[in-house]
Amino acid sequence: MGQGSYGMYGGFMSQSLVMPELDGAIYPYVVNTQEENAEGIVETVADPSRLHKFVEILSNTVALQSKPNKDKKVAIYYFKGPGQNGMAAQGLEVVPSLYNTLKRLKDEGYTINLPASPEALSDLIMKHGPVLNDFTEGSIEEFMRKASPLQIDAEEYDGWLKRGLTAEKYAELTELFGPAPGNYMSGVKDGRPYIAIAAVDLGNVVLLPQPMAGIGGDSFAIVHGAKSAPPHPYVAAYLWAKEAFHADAMVHFGTHGSLEFTPQKQVALGDSDWPDALVGTTPHFYYYTIANVGESMMAKRRSYATTISYLNPPFEESRMRASFDKLRRDMISYEKADRDDIKLKFALDVKREAVRMGIHRELRLDSVLTKPYTDEEMLKLDNFAEEIANEKISTILYVTGIPYTADKINSSVLAMSSDPIGYSKAALDRMTGKLTEDNFRKQAYMTEHYLAPAKRLVSEVLNGKKIDSASSALTQASLWSSSAKPWRSPPQNSPAWQQ
């Protein structure tokens, strides 16, 4: 278990971490190290402290199978921006999804005081579960006065810190933010200092906003990797779940929070890494979008999360093609023109339309309307327009527990599968010489001869046509394109105005 920023790398990482992940393994927890003995021989040595904690993790996880649902306690952490900002998660309509999840838990026997509606839940969260920056003193004072935050005595909280953190991490925290309870989200009651924790108490399920993992106003940078220890309110929110609430499980709801981006090592975490200390031995589940594999790996490796996937938003065509109709008509007229003067006229028409639409700025092309673009610039312009016209967009956000309608499923299947089919067929035709490199570079050609036929094929399959007969559409289109003369091939002799 290395103490550098990586923790594990090379072949050892591939063998011990990556390959087990591919087999579905979870919880990459370090229980032994490799050390050199007095004779210079490298030995694998068990770490008693880590081994003890891992046994506790296993015991806590197995206990979830036998403990009655009505007795289970769950701490659910959600993500929202500071102040009045709403709850956030990639591709997820958070409030109704969280409400539906709580309703399902209640139906399964969990002891939950469920609000009457998603709107009522949202009101509770906005009042009792905000995220507050360190510099918003007025908002913090108002929250302390009007809401019902958990108030943890500073001495009790300091005891949690000493039990849950190594001496190194304890010193790091107190040197940066002062001794418990710090001066942010803290107060004094009956002469005794305390730290406040925002929470929405629903019985055996408690909702907690994930506090800011750092000090300052750059929320994005803080979420994606503060370089120092998280402040007291952040640490307290996690230690409370274990020490006071005695949570049987921890859940992070939606993609994504900051826990997995707190310091130190990338993988093979130890007692001196913040995610390891804050998760502790509580089983951790992370409700994560299926569309973000890369960052979900961080959640698995750095916060020991068992990820539970939710669907990405459905896709559909961007419907931008009509916006480029005039540009495409001018392009086609330019390509078909057989006289230099007519070709020049349509080339200038193309340029005027490109400048009017502002496309020239995106492609770093000039806007001098008396000088036409070169053939290469025209190709660049046409490819850009075709790419935007073919773009896919996401539509409604996913709501947990509500299946997509048939039209949303079909539009998503069409958007996700037609391009891979078309480009795969093009790749085969390039290998056999049926598709020239020149035509492969032309997006409009690819759309007409590969992407559009592939889309028709997928549509036919979705409409119930057998695959053998449906696939003939793509095959025939490809055969036709391979026998046709190259589309929009560059002229052998460029017009005088391009020389």
Q: What percent of the chain has pLDDT over 70?
A: 90
As a whole number of angstroms, the distance between CA 238 and CA 160 comes to: 10
Residue 224 is predicted with a pLDDT of 62
> In sequence order, what DSSP letters do the residues of 50-94 get, joined into one string?
HHHHHHHHHHHHHHHHHS-GGG--EEEEE-B-STTPPB--TTB-H
Residue 115 is predicted with a pLDDT of 97
> In sequence order, what DSSP letters do the residues of 400-427 get, joined into one string?
TT-PPPHHHHHHHHHHHHHHHHHHHHHH
At 471, is the pLDDT very low, low, confident or very high (cuts 50, 70, 90)? low
Residue 138 is predicted with a pLDDT of 80
What's the average model confidence in pLDDT over 465-478?
A: 62
Residue 35 is predicted with a pLDDT of 86
As a whole number of angstroms, the distance between CA 76 and CA 93 comes to: 16
What's the average model confidence in pLDDT over 74-88?
A: 85
Question: Does the structure show a pLDDT above 90 at 488?
Answer: no
As a whole number of angstroms, the distance between CA 359 and CA 353 comes to: 9
What's the average model confidence in pLDDT over 306-335?
A: 86
Residue 199 is predicted with a pLDDT of 96
What is the chain's mean pLDDT, rounded?
A: 87
CA 413, 414, 415, 416 torsion-angle sign: positive
390 CB-near residues (< 8 Å, 6+ apart):
317, 318, 419, 443, 447, 451
> In sequence order, what DSSP letters do the residues of 205-233 get, joined into one string?
EEEEE---SSSSS-HHHHHTT-SSPPPHH
3-state SS assignment for residue 282: coil
- Tens of pLDDT, residues 41-80: 989 889 999 999 999 999 999 999 999 999 999 999 999 8
Residue 176 is predicted with a pLDDT of 92
Residue 492 is predicted with a pLDDT of 45
Residue labelled with tokens 């070709």: 343
262, 212 in Cβ contact below 8 A?
no
What b-and-e string marks burial along 470-479, b requiring 16 or more CB atoms within 10 Å of the CB? Answer: bbebbeebbe
Q: In what helix (H) or strand (E) does residue 46 lie, and over which residues does it extend?
A: strand 42-46
CB atoms closer than 10 angstroms to residue 430: 14
Between helices 94-107 and 118-128, what is the axis angle to 10°? 110
At 485, is the pLDDT very low, low, confident or very high (cuts 50, 70, 90)? very low
Q: How far is CA 266 from the centre of its chain?
A: 18
Lowest mean pLDDT of 102-116, 304-318, 475-489, name the range: 475-489
Residue 220 is predicted with a pLDDT of 61
- Tens of pLDDT, residues 392-451: 888 889 999 999 999 999 999 998 899 899 999 999 999 999 999 988 988 888 888 998
As a whole number of angstroms, the distance between CA 351 and CA 235 comes to: 59
Residue 410 is predicted with a pLDDT of 92
Lowest mean pLDDT of 19-33, 199-213, 241-255, 464-478, name the range: 464-478
Question: Does the structure show a pLDDT above 70 at 295?
Answer: yes
Question: Does the structure show a pLDDT above 60 at 322?
Answer: yes
What's the average model confidence in pLDDT over 331-349?
A: 88
Residue 15 is predicted with a pLDDT of 82
Residue 87 is predicted with a pLDDT of 86
At 84, is the pLDDT very low, low, confident or very high (cuts 50, 70, 90)? low
> In sequence order, what DSSP letters do the residues of 316-358 get, joined into one string?
EE---GGGGHHHHHHHHHHHH--SHHHHHHHHHHHHHHHHHHT
What's the average model confidence in pLDDT over 437-466?
A: 88
Question: Does the structure show a pLDDT above 70 at 4?
Answer: no
3-state SS assignment for residue 37: coil
- Tens of pLDDT, residues 206-252: 999 999 887 765 566 565 656 789 999 999 999 999 999 999 999 99
Residue 319 is predicted with a pLDDT of 78
